[in-house]
Homo-oligomer: A and B are copies of this chain.
Amino acid sequence: MDTRLLDAQPTPLATVAFASDHAGVDLKAHLYSLVQGWGYPVLDLGPEPGQSVDYPDYADKLAGALKTGPATLGVLICGSGIGISIAANRHAHIRAALVSDTLSAQLAREHNNANVIALGARLIGPDLAADAVKRFLATGFDGGERHARRVAKLG
């Protein structure tokens, strides 16, 4: 009997942190519920609905959460996704990919080892956003030498 099989545990799923600005709160709530339903530990860093906030503050919050853990992946949302992705990428330990399609979400993990997916709530619909997030979470870093060398230069 191979006891390794008995002892084998499923790989624990990454803890996923969520943050947005006011334009992104509804999409954040939608994606948070879905990702939680898929079995991932989740963390909502705000804001609450009804607040008007500045996207750089919430990008910084999420960057802080990924620094301290336990969250290792993040979802950031603003109106276009542009401002919050720029703000997130000011942090050397964040590789935030602004995506508007599922393939980009996959390539962001495979080639760039992205740890944050950024979305524009006014531009992407909720189902496509969910599909992109699902693919992002399900894809690992390709780890090839060329990609690793380029990612190292982002550090």
Q: Name A's B-contacting residues (CB within 8 A).
A: 54-57, 79-80, 82-83, 85-87, 89-90, 92, 95-101, 103-104, 107-108, 111-112, 114, 120, 123, 149-151, 153-154
Contacts and interface: CB of A to CB of B under 8 A. Distances in A.
Given A56-B150, A57-B153, A82-B104, 8 more contacts: A54-B149, A54-B150, A55-B150, A82-B98, A90-B90, A100-B101, A103-B123, A104-B120
Contacts of A92: 90
26 contacts: A54-B150, A54-B153, A56-B150, A56-B154, A57-B153, A79-B111, A80-B108, A82-B97, A82-B107, A82-B108, A82-B114, A83-B111, A85-B98, A86-B95, A86-B96, A86-B112, A86-B114, A86-B154, A87-B154, A89-B90, A90-B154, A97-B98, A98-B98, A100-B100, A100-B104, A103-B123
